[in-house]
Structure formats: structure tokens, C-alpha cells
């Protein structure tokens, strides 16, 4: 397997020394000033402005309620470290498309989350609402019929294989088995990268919501952050948005409700949840035409700063996008990507991969080129965070824009540490914020990474000693990633149509700088 040998590179002494979580000196982390807006939280506790509650109310938290127009208002009060993180993952598999048929016709409450969440009274209730108004009901039924039909068509298109990215892309004759894996990773990423149509739908969705927002609040604007503004989204990822306004104060409970109600009236939101009193007040809903899940937060700029920083990371870090997308899909398939259930969110994944690539000894010394060695790097990523990383003692941070390790014990903002076996990742925009504090299920995440390392290395050895005839049509990556999708060309169409979220984020930063 030569210089790129998986075994040789993954067991390199130098590599282990650098990567086993041994700490570097903690340099002072660059302070990033938080804007006033970011620090503001809603203390308001208005009463009486919301519509009366209807008969279907079932309150898990005594204060949670469903309004008469079918909007669920969740009154999250506490903000403990292990609590509910309002940033969610995604619903990124065509087979995950929520059912749009029978069960949505009658109002029903669905409880999401583990027993643990329920026990903590941290449960998360979603409402499938229907209007009492007859016309609206008919309209809704019509829409649901159309969606069901669309879903049937989409499902027919889904290929009967768990590895659609290998169709017509055979790399089994590669001499280096690690090159085979590298090519498969590239194919997978091209396969799940957005088509022109998908980008246009996202652009359109955001424009429509922004227009509606401006009708309601002329002083406000809608900005996109998160994976859509960094091109790190999978096909069903949510869109994270933030409403910022000249007059401010849009994060109040009443304003959240007004916006939710306005979007609903304009047929731009279904399955709405208003989480009014969380650390980050938020509205979550599904945009009915695109079925995209949207999260809207208020009066904050930190996500917009993070989007810019992540795009800079992507420009400066070859291989970052590929590995992040693979790890995202890997965790998503195992239901380990949702922070609400202790999984690892998109932001944490980006930081883990960024840190891994920038501290990789063979990359630092320019011994290897990341893009040509994605296979080896993926295996080593799984080895590091599955087998070697010192979760008990080591925190990830950054200094002058470069990732560093430092002792968790020296990070005053996270003391006292309740659970030492936990991931601690310093927010590059706020040194007091541990972005992975909600990821309490590190045990399973670590186990999954370790398992992936074993599965991939075994598969590499197995195929390395197989004949070319036996290798034909086989997948290496498929040993750890499965994906059900339709046949599509391996065209990453991001070059054909502009992602407006990126342009707008760039413009936002230009305006701020002026």
C-alpha cells in the first residue's frame, strides 16, 4: 500500500503523539467582542396577548400550550448545561420526508425525545395542526394530496441500493486501496451535493419568508447562517435564519408569536413551534412548499459571524468540506447528530474536523495533500475521536485562528465539570461558550467512531487481498455509510447557480465593515 498505507499512517508514532490529546500550551484565546444584541435575552413575560387556548391542549410543561390557531408555544425556562439545545440537526434523507397523509389531518401532539428528556421535563412537543375553517381545511387536504403524490414519485425514483454513489463509478482497479476510498469519498460528496434545483428551492424559500417578514416588520431583515450559508448542508438539512431589526426587541414572546402566526396565515409555515423562553428564543417550522425545516432565532449576530469564519476555514482547509459531509451523514444515519438527544451538532462536527486537519502532522509538514488522501484521513479521524482522544482532559479551542488543544481544567467558564467524559469545544466567537455542551451522548458517539475505524480498516485489508474480479462493484465507504437516494449525475451544481445565502452573508459583512 506504499506511502499512503493506512496502517502505516494511522499508527505513525508522530501522528499518535500529536493526536492522542496531549496538550499544547494554552495560548490566550483571541477575544471576539460580542455585540450588545448578542447579549440581549428576552426577559419579557407578557401575558394576555396570545389567542385563547383550544381544547386540544396537552401540556407536558404546565406552561406549554397550543394556541387556537395551532401554534405550539413552548415555555422553556431553565438553561442548564445538559438541557435542550435549540440548535437542531437535520432531516436529511429522502426516506425521512415526513408523512403528509392521514395523520396530519387531525390535530395531534407528538412527543419527540428520549425517556430521559421526558423525565427531565425537557420534552419537545410538536403539533400537526389543521384549521377549523372549512375552506382552509379543504385547501390543506388538497395540498396534502399533492404532497403525498410527490412523495410517491420521489420514492419511486429512489434506487434499490444503499450505495448509489458507486453506480457507474468503479474504482476497484486502483492499486492503492486508500486511493479507492478517496475516490469513493469524492463520489459520495458529489452525489449528495445540491443540484441546481435544490439550490433554487432554498433561495426561493428564503426570499419568500423574508418578504413576508418585511411585510410584518419593515424595520427587520432575515439573514441565513448555519450549513446553508456555508455549503455544508446535506439534502434535507434545516435552514438556520436570524431576524435582526433596527428597533430591536423582536425576540419577545409576543413578537415570536406574531411572526409565527403571520407566516402561518400566509401559508408559509406548518408544524410550528415557538420556543419563547430558551437561552436562544426560537421559532421552528416547516415551509410547506419545499418541506424544508426552518429555525428562526432573533436579534443575534454570532451565527452570521460564524458563517463567515467557517467559509474562511473551508477556503483555507482542503478536505474540510468532504470530511464534514461524510461525518455528518455517518452520524445522521445513526441518529447521533441531534443535539437534543445528546448527539453531535453540525457546528461541533466542523470544529472537530477543522482541528483534526490543522493538527495533522503529515499535513502540517506538507508530507501529504489532504485532497489526495481523504481516505486515509477519514480513517484517521475515526481513529482519533474513536480511540485516542483524551475526552476527560482535553478541550479544543483556537488561537490566532488556529486550532489548539488545552486542558479542560484551565477553562474557567466550564467549571465545575459535572461529567469529565465529555467533549469541550470552545466557540471560536465566544470563549466562554462550550458549543458541544449539549452532546451528552459522547459514549455512543465515540463508540460509533471507533467502530467505523475498525470496519473501514478491515474492509481495506479484505479488498486489498481480493482479486480484481472479486473487487468489482464493491464499496469501501459503504461499510460505514449507507444512503438511499435517487439516481443522479455526479454533478456538483453549485457552480451553476448562486447560493443567495452566501452572497447575502458576504454583503452583510461588507455593510458591517463600512
Helix (H) or strand (E) holding 431: strand 430-434
Using CB atoms within 10 A of its CB, is residue 441 exposed (0-12), middle (13-18) or buried (19+)? buried
Which residue of this chain has its Cβ atom nearest to Mg ion in the complex?
226
Position 240 contacts Mg ion (CB under 5 A): yes
CB burial class (10 A; 0-12, 13-18, 19+) of residue 198?
middle
Indicate the residue among 225 and 389 with the shorter CB distance to Mg ion. Answer: 225
Smaller CB distance to Mg ion: residue 144 or 237?
237
Choices 50-58, 195-203, 220-228, 247-255 (CB under 5 A): range interacting with Mg ion: 220-228
Binding mask 353-392 for Mg ion (x = CB under 5 A): ----------------------------------------
Q: Return the residues of window 268-307 that contact ligand ATP according to CB under 6 A.
A: 303, 306
* 238 contacts ligand ATP (rule: CB under 6 A): yes
Nearest CA among 417, 415, 362 for reference residue 391: 417
- Which residue has the CB atom at the shortest distance from ligand ATP? 346
Give 226's DSSP letter. Answer: G
CB-based contacts of 373, cutoff 8 Å, min separation 6: 4, 178, 182, 319
In the complex with ligand ATP, the residue whose CB is nearer, 232 or 256, is 232
Contact mark string toward Mg ion, 176..215, x via CB under 5 A: ----------------------------------------
| Residue 130 near which of ligand ATP, Mg ion, none (CB within 5-8 Å, type-dependent) | none
122 makes contact with Mg ion (CB under 5 A): no
Whether residue 254 contacts residue 281, with contact meaning beta carbons closer than 8 Å, is answered with no
Considering only residues 200-229, where is the footprint of ligand ATP by CB under 6 A? 225-227
- Is 435 an interacting residue with respect to ligand ATP (CB under 6 A)? yes
Using alpha carbons, list the distances in angstroms from residue 355 to 252, 273, 314.
37, 35, 12
Q: Are 156 and 166 within 8 A, CB to CB?
A: no
Burial status of residue 373 (CB atoms within 10 A of its CB: 0-12, 13-18, 19 or more)? buried
- Name the segment binding ligand ATP (CB under 6 A); options: 31-39, 53-61, 84-92, 197-205: 84-92
Query: Rounded CA gap, 386 and 423, in Å?
Result: 12
In terms of CB distance, is 18 or 227 closer to ligand ATP? 227
Using the minimum distance from each CB to ligand ATP, give the nearer residue, 306 or 424: 306
Size (the chain), residues: 514
- Closer residue to ligand ATP, CB minimum distance, 241 or 379: 241
Residue 149 to residue 440: CA distance in whole angstroms: 40
90/471 with CB nearer Mg ion: 90
Q: How far is residue 303's CA from residue 448's CA, in Å, rounded to a whole number? A: 29
* SS3 (DSSP) at 151: helix
Residues with Cβ within 8 Å of residue 206, at least 6 apart in sequence = 222, 224, 239, 241, 500, 501
91 binds, among ligand ATP, Mg ion, none (CB under 5 to 8 A by kind): none
Among candidate residues 334, 325, 393, 392, the one with its CA nearest the CA of residue 353 = 325
Does position 428 interact with ligand ATP (CB under 6 A)? The reply is no
Site string for ligand ATP, 306-325 (x = CB under 6 A): x-------------------
Spatial separation of the C-alpha atoms in residues 254 and 304, rounded to whole Å: 24
How far apart, in whole angstroms, are the C-alpha atoms of residue 195 and residue 216? 32
In angstroms, the CA 1 to CA 8 distance is 9
The site that binds ligand ATP (CB under 6 A) totals a number of residues, namely 21
Per-residue contact string for residues 336-355; x = within reach of ligand ATP by CB under 6 A: ---------xxx--------
Nearest-approach distance from CB 278 to ligand ATP, in angstroms: 12
Q: Which stretch binds ligand ATP (CB under 6 A): 68-76, 189-197, 232-240, 358-366?
A: 232-240
Residue among 70, 83, 164, 226 that touches Mg ion (CB under 5 A): 226
Q: Check binding of 233 to ligand ATP (CB under 6 A).
A: yes
Considering CB distances under 5 to 8 angstroms, the limit depending on partner class, which of ligand ATP, Mg ion, none binds residue 326?
Answer: none
Q: Which of 84, 87, 385, 405 binds ligand ATP (CB under 6 A)?
A: 87
Outline where DSSP puts E strands in 371-425: 394-399, 402-407
Query: Contact positions toward ligand ATP, by CB under 6 A?
Result: 85, 87, 89-90, 225-227, 232-233, 237-238, 240, 303, 306, 328, 345-347, 427, 433, 435
Amino acid at each position: 500500500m506504499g506511502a499512503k498505507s493506512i496502517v502505516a499512517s494511522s499508527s505513525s508514532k508522530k501522528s499518535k503523539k500529536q493526536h492522542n490529546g496531549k496538550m499544547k500550551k494554552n495560548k490566550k484565546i483571541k477575544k471576539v467582542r460580542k455585540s450588545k444584541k448578542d447579549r440581549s435575552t428576552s426577559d419579557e413575560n407578557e401575558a394576555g396577548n396570545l389567542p385563547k387556548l383550544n381544547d386540544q391542549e396537552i401540556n407536558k410543561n404546565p406552561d406549554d400550550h397550543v394556541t387556537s390557531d395551532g401554534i405550539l408555544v413552548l415555555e422553556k425556562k431553565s438553561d442548564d448545561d445538559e438541557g435542550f439545545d435549540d440548535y437542531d440537526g437535520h432531516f436529511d434523507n429522502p426516506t425521512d420526508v415526513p408523512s403528509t397523509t392521514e395523520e396530519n389531518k387531525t390535530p395531534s401532539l407528538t412527543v419527540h425525545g428520549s425517556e430521559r428528556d421526558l423525565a427531565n421535563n425537557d420534552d419537545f412537543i410538536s403539533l400537526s395542526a389543521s384549521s377549523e375553517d372549512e375552506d382552509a381545511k379543504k385547501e390543506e387536504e388538497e395540498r396534502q394530496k399533492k404532497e403525498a403524490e410527490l412523495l410517491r414519485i420521489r420514492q419511486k425514483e429512489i434506487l434499490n441500493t444503499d450505495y448509489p454513489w458507486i453506480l457507474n463509478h468503479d474504482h476497484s482497479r486502483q492499486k492503492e486501496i486508500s486511493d479507492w476510498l478517496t475516490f469513493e469519498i469524492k463520489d459520495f460528496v458529489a452525489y449528495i451535493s445540491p443540484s441546481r434545483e435544490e439550490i433554487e428551492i432554498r433561495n426561493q424559500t428564503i426570499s419568500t419568508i423574508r418578504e413576508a417578514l418585511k411585510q410584518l416588520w419593515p424595520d427587520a431583515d432575515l439573514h441565513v447562517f448555519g450549513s446553508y450559508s456555508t455549503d455544508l448542508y446535506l439534502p434535507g438539512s434545516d435552514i438556520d435564519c436570524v431576524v435582526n431589526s433596527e428597533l430591536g426587541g423582536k425576540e419577545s414572546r409576543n413578537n415570536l408569536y406574531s411572526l409565527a402566526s403571520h407566516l402561518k396565515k400566509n401559508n408559509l409555515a406548518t408544524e410550528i413551534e415557538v420556543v419563547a423562553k430558551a437561552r436562544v428564543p426560537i421559532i421552528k417550522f416547516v415551509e410547506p412548499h419545499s418541506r424544508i425545516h426552518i429555525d428562526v432565532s432573533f436579534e443575534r449576530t454570532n451565527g452570521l459571524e460564524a458563517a463567515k469564519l467557517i467559509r474562511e476555514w473551508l477556503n483555507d482547509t482542503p478536505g474540510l468540506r468532504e470530511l464534514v459531509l461524510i461525518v455528518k451523514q455517518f452520524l445522521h444515519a445513526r441518529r447521533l447528530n441531534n443535539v437534543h438527544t445528546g448527539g453531535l451538532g453540525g457546528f461541533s462536527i466542523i470544529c472537530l474536523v477543522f482541528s483534526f486537519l490543522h493538527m495533522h502532522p503529515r499535513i502540517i509538514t506538507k508530507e501529504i495533500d489532504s485532497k489526495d488522501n481523504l481516505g486515509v484521513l477519514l480513517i484517521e479521524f475515526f481513529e482519533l475521536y474513536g480511540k485516542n482522544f483524551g475526552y476527560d482532559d482535553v478541550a479544543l479551542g483556537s488561537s490566532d485562528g488556529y486550532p489548539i488543544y488545552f486542558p479542560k481544567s484551565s477553562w474557567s467558564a466550564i467549571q465545575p465539570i459535572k461529567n469529565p467524559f465529555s467533549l469541550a469545544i470552545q466557540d471560536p466567537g465566544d470563549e466562554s461558550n462550550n458549543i458541544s455542551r449539549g452532546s451528552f451522548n459522547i459514549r455512543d458517539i465515540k463508540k460509533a467512531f471507533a467502530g467505523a475505524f475498525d470496519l473501514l480498516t478491515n474492509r481495506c485489508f479484505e479488498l486489498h487481498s481480493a482479486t480484481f474480479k472479486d473487487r468489482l462493484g464493491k464499496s469501501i465507504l459503504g461499510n460505514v455509510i449507507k444512503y438511499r437516494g435517487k439516481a443522479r449525475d455526479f454533478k456538483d451544481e453549485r457552480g451553476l447557480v448562486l447560493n443567495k445565502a452566501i452572497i447575502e452573508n458576504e454583503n452583510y459583512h461588507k455593510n458591517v465593515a463600512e
